[in-house]
Homo-oligomer: A and B are copies of this chain.
Amino acid sequence: MNEPINAPKPHFFNHTALKKTLDIICGKWRLYIIYQIGTEARRYGELRRMIPEVSEKVLIQELKALVELGVIEKKSYNEVPPRVEYSLTAKTLHIFPHLLELTSIGEAFLNP
């Protein structure tokens, strides 16, 4: 019997899905942006005013990335001055409660 007695029995899990999760929620601003859009359509300038700490460049960059990921969608109206609205996709609205629940993880580690 050469079976090692205490050999590691690692957890197996879906790497691809986990990576996708991290893509969606990690980064300094992603979750804030998603939370602020919430259930309404928000104009770019509106989001800037709601999250004034983020730089313009990064906000646009993150909005683009979230569109790419299928988390939000962008609608441009052909007006001048421009009007662009961002809203959560159906998929995101579906898991939105999960996203709001994320704070509970941190809460568990706040008070000694």
Contacts and interface: CB of A to CB of B under 8 A. Distances in A.
Tally of this chain's copies: 2
A83 interface: no
**A-side binding surface: helix, strand, loop or mixed?**
helix
A103 B11 contact: no
A99 B105 contact: yes
Contacts of A94: 108
Contacts of A8: 36, 42, 46, 49-50
B18 A103 contact: yes
Interface of A: 8-11, 13-14, 16-27, 31-32, 35-36, 38, 40, 42, 46, 49-50, 69-71, 91, 94-95, 98-110
